A and B are shown apart, each in its own frame.
Chain A
């Protein structure tokens, strides 16, 4: 039982119970605000009945031609609200909006070590489209999977034919 609603600037004052999770990055203000300004419909928050932020999704639509797609920039759920299907609900919103925007597919990047997330995305119908080498900087750098799910506009499902070779971050469009 969740209130799903558009993210507001004010939520940044209360999203600590989500963002204190080590895998959830807290970005500079301009990052959030640019998403709110450019793709407000893609930035949705899940709130509990007592007003606690349970998780949120931020995304965007980008690309040209058959590469026009929805992108999941961040999806996070607070630890105590995991395994309740919340991520699924948030992803459904993003996919729904991407469908409405006539996107060909939705994609996202995930650390290759994040098995929990990878498994969840696979259950939601995403496939590993390609591996992006050393996408996440750190010590050491970590590879990412670029995962995709075709939308109805991609009738021939061309967007989800996996690449056979890994790519480097600079090769990503």
Chain B
């Protein structure tokens, strides 16, 4: 612990002030942009002066104090001063850090000061001391290249530092080969140099400096090809393989595999070598032109290899993954490719059964290799492709995702479950996700205090950044919005229930709580294995496009949610104003003022929703881009925007606005505009519901007929329809609250007067619309309930018949395993349809309660 009596704590406080000034706490986040960089500069300068004073007075004793001093200097980019600290007596106080700590600091300071020669020298020494620490090679080569370029610029004719570096790296490599150590770094050093030369446009020097690149690569595989990590070690260097040498190179690699007389890898090392060869074949583009048939054939050969080599890992413990698991992953990738390429023409290969076959194979693999998360993530993807998120959940549970993984890997299932109508699964995942995020602020606060207490002050800005990155998670904001929309659209059966629920949610219609500029995409999209050629792998640009699409979806959902928030308030404030009117004059005035402000916000949010819809036109009526398998599932916005949901919501919000203004007397119902609007709404909703009957029919619920990619959009459309109708019901509920007193008032007056007072046109128009909507909902609910019952019955029959008509077994899996998969998938649809049917039933109840 840092000595508490020392005044250096004062400088620490200044440092903390500077860090927190950079990223203010949540409650003041709004003022984030105004964080004062000048203030930070002054704070740091002050901290430096204070520490300088302590140094002069010999008051610096603890290691933590020296580290704080270095941090202050680094933050101010005072690297010369920082180097002086390393050269002075204070460096001796740094005694509890890893061996290389001071050298790494020294190298980085030299590099920051563009003192390339010194930086390269330190890195070279570090390589000698720690020959397997890769960062030293990267930095050594980088700084040497900088040195070369600076020297070349200044004086031509100086000895080429690259020649010296190449010679040193070659010596390191040779030494490692002779001594047969386990160090992989020295064998890769020259390849890194070749890569950097290539990146700098100096590839013509590679041969002269590094020798034959292909030979170095081959040598590496020769030594380490029997390790599971081999492909990962060399993947960065594969772009350097000349196209015309690929086949010869692959032939050589294949010859390294020790096959038995049956052509099967003879031992575990041979499995790894064989896999390395297969992975390289794929990465170097040798399988790019396979036909779907060939893909299937190839996949089957891999499954066979898996099966024939499984006995070699029979002694392995459960905690280890099986060496041959990658055969299954490669096979699944190829099977999926075959399915994707046959999309739309499933006659060529049995696509329908193929997807079940792949799922069964992966289930089998997971059973044999319980620790292999790659198989699990892949299987979740496959079940998601079928819209069978209930089945996905069984695998998701095996991943045991928790805490920060709910953010980084939340993209694998949470919102897919929601969109497939599997609300129970979605609510479970979303609830644990939100709990994690809610606890974030508290969980990260105590360590901040600990950092101060224990002197690890340099961690403070890091902790603050980390907290904010979580706080601004795009997934957090999306799940929070979806959870609220789910809560108000599934179980709600009456307007009073809605008002209570919305009140508890504390939706702020006026103030948008999302910090759009700081939203962070925290998805871990590199976790799944891929051996595709570099240009076919997930690119940063793919991720950017997907993030932008998700943000667009969030923008729309956020406005819809706030619109519901203000609408519920509007009905409520109107009711409150009526209530207040009965009680007290003044309160009436306040109530009306609130109602008027709410009307204004409703108008603003309606316009905002219209604008967001207009701005999102690029996502409308087009298919989401197909991303590589390890990428995220397609963004939801494409489908949401192609369903016509938003314009309907806008229209209903406009009706509410119009009715409210008419009743308030601030606008007349000129030319019966409410009548026109209601008519339009009615037509649009009728069209929407009718079109969605088609999606219901399109659902493929028997595993005999399921084709990947058909059910997810069909279910998602039904889910969005249910939610849209839910929000329509809410908005009509708000109209109802406004119109009810009018009708009651007229009825009351009619009792007293001889000449009847006529109701405003909007009342019968509203009543008529609610009646029509009721019939429509009844029709849809019946269709959905019938579908649910039918699917349930068929599934039960299939289970009873043990799926005798389905054959999805393979040479690896048993018919029983195939049947289990079929049952899982079909049961998932039963659940989805049950929840969707229940949800629509509740809308019906809601609308039935709106009789004026």
Interface residues of A (CB under 8 A from B): 1-6, 8-10, 12-14, 16-17, 19-23, 26-30, 33-34, 36-38, 40-41, 44, 47-50, 52, 54, 79-85, 89, 93, 96-97, 100-101, 114-116
Contacts and interface: CB of A to CB of B under 8 A. Distances in A.
A1 B234 CA distance: 11
Contacts of A10: 462, 466
A33 B443 contact: yes
B404 A1 contact: no
A27 B466 CA distance: 16
A138 to B, nearest CB: 13
In the A-B complex, the 9 residue pairs with the smallest Cβ-Cβ separation, listed nearest first, are A33-B447, A1-B185, A20-B373, A9-B466, A1-B184, A37-B450, A3-B135, A80-B228, A30-B443
B319 interface: yes
Contacts of B130: 4
Contacts of A29: 403-404, 439-440, 443-444, 470
Contacts of B409: 16
Contacts of A47: 134-135
A13 B405 CA distance: 8
Contacts of B451: 37
B450 A9 contact: no
Nearest to A23: B319
Contacts of A100: 95-97
A17 B137 CA distance: 24
A115 B469 CA distance: 39
B229 A17 contact: no
Contact of A13 (B184, B321, B453, B522): B522
B459 A16 contact: no
A21 B371 contact: yes
B446 A30 contact: yes
Contacts of A3: 133-135, 138
Contacts of A19: 405
A60 B462 CA distance: 20
Contacts of B138: 3, 49
Given A5-B135, A22-B400, A79 B371 contact: yes
11 contacts: A1-B188, A9-B466, A14-B408, A22-B319, A26-B402, A29-B470, A33-B447, A36-B459, A38-B456, A52-B526, A80-B229
Interface string B442-468: 011011101101101001001101100
User: Residue among A2, A96, A116 with the most chain B CB within 10 A?
Assistant: A2
B142 to A, nearest CB: 13
A101 B96 contact: yes
A84 B183 CA distance: 9
A97 B403 contact: no
B319 A116 contact: yes
Contacts of B185: 1-2
Interface in B511-537: 522, 524, 526-527
Contact of A17 (B376, B407, B527): B527
A89 B100 CA distance: 13
A85 B463 CA distance: 31
Contact of B404 (A6, A26, A116): A26
Contact of B408 (A13, A22, A30): A13
A70 B172 CA distance: 34
B98 A37 contact: no
Interface in B757-791: none
A9 B463 contact: yes
A74 B366 CA distance: 25
B447 A36 contact: yes
B286 to A, nearest CB: 21
